[in-house]
Amino acid sequence: MSTAPSLLSQLIADISKKGTILEDYLTRNGLPQPSFKTSAPIDLAIPASEESLIVGPAEGLKWIGMTEIYLLTSLQILCHFNIAQSIPLGSPIAFNELAKKTSLNESLLAHYLHMASTHHYFYEPAPGFAAHTAGSRLLAEDEGYRACAWLRADIFFTACSKALETMTRFGGSAKPEEAPYAVAFGDVFFAHLEKEPWRREKFAHSMKAMTSGSEVEEIAVVYDWGSVEEGGLVVDIGGGMAHISAAIATAHPHLHFLIQDLPSLADQANTHIASRSGPKASHLTFHPHDFFTPQPAIARNAAVYVLRNILHDWSDAHCQQILAHIVDAMGPKSRVVIVDVVVPEPGTLGMYEEAQMRTLDLTMWALFAARERSMEDWEGLLKVVDERLGVLKVVEPPRMRRYAVMEVGLLGEGVGGMEARPI
Ligand SMILES: C[S@@+](CC[C@H](N)C(=O)[O-])C[C@H]1O[C@@H](n2cnc3c(N)ncnc32)[C@H](O)[C@@H]1O
């Protein structure tokens, strides 16, 4: 009995077949192989009959970024008008019914649904009907992923539209008030969130979604939390809605967590903490604290200070202030666990990963006038804060690509329990 080939096998066969068609076409017409070299043809002019998607730089530049702009706009509009939540999960809905339900213009709604479906968000099972795909279902069910779409369309896109103006006016300034975000919105990113609670809430949800599932679970295993003494205090600095601490607490109930963030996040964080069941909830305490001010007495001599996705938001001068307050509070055995991006040596990543890394780097600039750091940058930053501060261990979590977990301690006299290890 013969079994039908799997979808992946069919795709592989299709790619191979189309590759052969392209190769034959190039040979028949005496054309060179596709290439990115300066001397390569700018227009390959392969006719549509050859079923090839390969284009030269001329055709590429004509379309550059266009699809992404309209995909982003579609997701922005569809999320804003709660379209994903208005489509039933089990059955398709007619466009006209959906338009009536959401008080939208049916024709425009259809245009945006069609655009989103080119990237597998929603699909049209029969003409004039909308239904869910796995991606649009996630938008329907998870506020955090809807907030991710908002973060890109309303925040990153708007800030990036002011990048050129910002560079022209302020050059390479490292002041948050001279970042593209501040130029676009007239305020510094976190101060703006403070003033507009709906923004703050959406940002916190997007942060939670961006650290969801396996990444959060990984934080609980990549660092040796088990070696921290019973009842040891973990201070989660800029801990947002307590999602990281909560994940570690679930796996390591012997620890206590103090989650520090701006006072405006208290309600959201406390609601999240309270929603957790069992006695572990009592191990998590939110404490409003501005990390540019000295650490309070309750956070002194903690076992671990966690900084996840915090320092890359700030220039070296700002990071020095944050770290100096931590060093001041540290005991000889205290550790700082920095979970952040580490930019690898140039040319060591594949093209796709390199592009993602550059995206993160420029996002830091667009929002905060900050940058991602290489390992050399991280070590230099620590040494400026305190000569004794050094990286003891670096772990690269397999699922948190581009990230490293850096364990930092006070080297030299009084270092307890751990030897300094080379990276
Ligand atoms: C990029 S988020 C990271 C949140 C969390 N650590 C995570 O990994 O998902 C940065 C956090 O820093 C907080 N934050 C910004 N400025 C702060 C300040 N001056 N003091 C304390 N927290 C601050 C923000 O409210 C936000 O929760």
CATH label of the domain that carries residue 109: 1.10.10.10
Tell me if 16 is assigned to some domain: no
* pLDDT at residue number 397: 79
Site to substitute for ligand 1 among 203, 207, 267, most atoms within 8 A of C-beta: 207
In a domain, 80, yes or no: yes
Same domain, residue pair 305 and 243: yes
Q: Are residues 156 and 262 in the same domain?
A: no
For residue 223, is it within any domain?
yes
Number of domains the chain is built from: 3
State the Cα–Cα distance between residues 107 and 99, nearest whole angstrom: 9
Probe residue for ligand 1, chosen from 148, 262, 305, 321 as the CB with the greatest number of ligand atoms within 8 Å: 262
- Separation of 310 CA from ligand 1 center, angstroms? 6
Closest protein CA for atom 18 of ligand 1: 290
Q: Which residue has the tokens 């667009």?
A: 366
394 and 325 part of one domain: yes
Torsion angle of the four alpha carbons 77, 80, 86, 88, in this order, in degrees rounded to the nearest 10: 70
Domain boundary among 207, 233, 257: 207
| Contact present, 376 and 405 (Cβ < 8 Å) | no
Q: Whose CA is nearest to atom 19 of ligand 1?
A: 290
Whether 157 and 115 share a structural domain: no
Based on the fold, state whether residues 231 and 305 are members of the same structural domain. Answer: yes
Which ligand 1 atom sits closest to the C-alpha of 193?
25
With respect to residue 300, please indicate whether it lies within any of the assigned structural domains.
yes
Q: What is the pLDDT along the chain (423 residues), one digit of tens a residue?
A: 568 889 999 999 999 998 898 899 889 988 888 889 998 888 877 877 777 778 889 988 999 999 999 999 999 999 999 999 999 999 999 999 999 999 999 999 999 999 999 999 999 999 999 999 999 999 999 999 999 999 999 999 999 999 999 999 999 999 999 999 999 999 999 999 999 999 999 998 998 888 766 677 788 888 999 999 999 999 999 999 898 899 899 889 999 999 999 998 898 889 888 887 654 567 999 999 999 999 999 999 999 999 999 999 999 999 999 999 999 999 999 999 999 999 988 888 888 888 989 999 999 999 999 999 999 999 999 999 999 999 999 998 777 678 899 999 998 744 443 333 332
Tokens of 1: 């009995």
In three-state form (DSSP H/G/I as H, E/B as E, the rest C), the secondary structure along the chain is CCCCCCHHHHHHHHHHHHHHHHHHHHHHCCCCCCCCCCCCCCCCCCCHHHCCCCCCHHHHHHHCCHHHHHHHHHHHHHHHCCHHHHCCCCCCEEHHHHHHHHCCCHHHHHHHHHHHHCCCCCECCCCCEEECCHHHHHHHHCHHHHHHHHHHHHHHHHHHCCHHHHHHHHCCCCCHHHCHHHHHHCCCHHHHHHHCHHHHHHHHHHHHHHCCCHHHHHHHHHCCHHHCCCCCEEEEECCCCCHHHHHHHHHCCCCEEEEEECHHHHHHHHHHHHCCCCHHHHHEEEEECCCCCCCCHHHCCCCEEEEECCHHHCCHHHHHHHHHHHHHHCCCCCEEEEEEEEECCCCCCCHHHHHHHHHHHHHHHHHHCCCCEEHHHHHHHHHHHCCCEEEEEEECCCCCCCEEEEEEEECCCCCCCCCCCCC
Check if the beta carbon of residue 239 is closer than 8 Å to that of residue 306: yes
Distance from residue 231's CA to the centre of ligand 1 (Å)? 25
Looking at ligand 1, which atom is closest to the CA of residue 306? Answer: 6
| pLDDT for position 423 | 28
Whole-number pLDDT of residue 236: 97
Asked if residue 342 and residue 303 are part of one domain, the reply reads yes
pLDDT of residue 56: 86
Ligand 1 atom with least separation from CA of 313: 1
Residue 296 lies in a domain: yes
Angle between the 214-222 and 243-251 helix axes, to the nearest 10 degrees?
Answer: 60
Final residue belonging to a domain, choices 141, 166, 185: 141
The verdict on 93 and 185 lying in the same domain is no
205, 272, 312, 318: which is the annotated catalytic residue?
A: 312
- The parent domain of residue 302 ranges over 214-347+365-410
Residues 306 and 336 in one domain: yes
Residues 83, 185 within the same domain: no
Active site (annotated) includes residue 119: no
Q: Within this chain, do residues 191 and 284 fall inside the same structural domain, yes or no? A: no
Are 332 and 237 in the same domain?
yes
Pocket test for ligand 1, best of 188, 261, 312 (most atoms within 8 A of CB): 261
- Give yes or no: residues 137 and 278 share one domain: no
**Residue 220 maps to which CATH number?**
3.40.50.150
Residue 27 lies in a domain: no
Q: What residues are in contact with ligand 1 under a 6 Å CB criterion?
A: 190, 207, 211, 238-240, 244, 261-262, 265, 290-292, 308-310, 313
Quick check: is 28 in a domain?
Answer: no
End-of-domain residue from the set 207, 223, 258? 207
